[in-house]
Amino acid sequence: MYVCLCHGFTDRQVKCALEAGAGGSTAAVYRHFECAPRCGKCVPLVRDMVRAARTDEEPPVRR
Ligand code: FES
């Protein structure tokens, strides 16, 4: 599933980034992809994924 349509990265890519150590913050995930939020619609989901990675939980499903 695409997380960020502006930059074209997926939930799988975010999970890989988090596993690779980009889990310190939401901003760290964007730095990993060498970008910054454009429209910002993906920020809440990326934030949830970062939080879930910290607590070993599945991120909540957003619709
Ligand atoms: S969807 Fe990620 S910045 Fe627009």
User: ∠ CA 44-33-10 to the nearest 5 degrees?
Assistant: 55
Reported as a pLDDT band with limits 50, 70 and 90, residue 63 is: low
Task: For residue 7, give the ligand 1 atom closest to its CA.
Answer: 2
pLDDT tens digit string along 38-61?
999 999 999 999 999 988 766 666
Is the minimum distance from the CB of 12 to ligand 1 under 6 angstroms? no
| Confidence (pLDDT) at 56 | 73
| Confidence (pLDDT) at 62 | 64
Check if the beta carbon of residue 31 is closer than 8 Å to that of residue 17.
no
CA-nearest residue for atom 2, ligand 1, is 4
Is the minimum distance from the CB of 45 to ligand 1 under 6 angstroms? no
The full set of domains in the chain, from first to last, is 2-55 (1.10.10.1100)
Pairing between β-strand 9-10 and β-strand 2-4 as defined by DSSP bridges = antiparallel
pLDDT tens digit string along 8-25?
999 999 999 999 988 789
Which segments of the chain does DSSP mark as H helices, in order?
Answer: 11-17, 26-32, 43-55
| Confidence (pLDDT) at 55 | 84
